[in-house]
Amino acid sequence: MKTPHALQALIDDGVIDEVVRPLKSGKEAAVYVVRGGGEVRCAKVYKDMAQRSFQQRVQYQEGRKVRGSREARAIGKASRYGRKQQEDAWKHTEVDALYRLREAGVRVPEPHGFHHGVLVMEMVTDADGLAAPRLGEYAPTPEQARAFHAVLVRQVTRMLCCGLIHGDLSPYNVLVDADGPVLIDFPQVVSAAGNNAARTMLLRDVNNLTAYLGRWAPELLDTWYGEELWALFEAGALQPDTALTGSFAHDEHAADVGSVREAIEEARQEALIRQQGREAAAAEGR
The binding site for Mg ion (CB under 5 A) comprises 173, 185
131: partner contacted, choices Mg ion, ligand ATP, none (Cβ within 5-8 A by kind): ligand ATP
Question: Nearest 5°: phi and psi at 134?
Answer: -80, 150
170: partner contacted, choices Mg ion, ligand ATP, none (Cβ within 5-8 A by kind): none
Instruction: Please say which residue, 87 or 185, places its beta carbon nearer to Mg ion.
Output: 185
Q: Do the Cβ atoms of 212 and 179 come closer than 8 Å?
A: no
Q: Do the Cβ atoms of 165 and 202 come closer than 8 Å?
A: yes
Instruction: Please say which residue, 122 or 185, places its beta carbon nearer to Mg ion.
Output: 185
What 3-state class would DSSP assign to 33? Answer: strand
22: partner contacted, choices ligand ATP, Mg ion, none (Cβ within 5-8 A by kind): none
Instruction: Please say which residue, 123 or 156, places its beta carbon nearer to ligand ATP.
Output: 123
132: partner contacted, choices Mg ion, ligand ATP, none (Cβ within 5-8 A by kind): ligand ATP
Question: Least separation, in Å, of the C-beta of 24 and Mg ion?
Answer: 8
Q: Compute the distance between CA of residue 162 and CA of residue 128 in angstroms, rounded to an integer.
A: 33
Instruction: Please say which residue, 170 or 191, places its beta carbon nearer to ligand ATP.
Output: 170
Instruction: Please say which residue, 31 or 202, places its beta carbon nearer to ligand ATP.
Output: 31
Residues near ligand ATP (CB under 6 A) are 23-24, 26-29, 31, 42, 44, 109, 121-124, 131-132, 134, 172-173, 175, 184-185
Question: Least separation, in Å, of the C-beta of 184 and ligand ATP?
Answer: 5
Rounded alpha-carbon distances, angstroms, from residue 249 to 105, 242, 261: 29, 17, 12
Question: Least separation, in Å, of the C-beta of 68 and Mg ion?
Answer: 30
Residue 32: beta bridge partners? 22, 43
Instruction: Please say which residue, 107 or 158, places its beta carbon nearer to ligand ATP.
Output: 107
Query: What is the CB-side half-sphere exposure of residue 226 using CA atoms within 13 A?
Result: 27
Question: Least separation, in Å, of the C-beta of 202 and Mg ion?
Answer: 18
Helix spans in 115-256 (H): 142-161, 198-213, 225-234
Question: Least separation, in Å, of the C-beta of 172 and Mg ion?
Answer: 6
In this structure, how many other beta carbons lie within 10 angstroms of the beta carbon of residue 136? 17
Rounded alpha-carbon distances, angstroms, from residue 204 to 31, 187, 255, 270: 26, 17, 20, 11
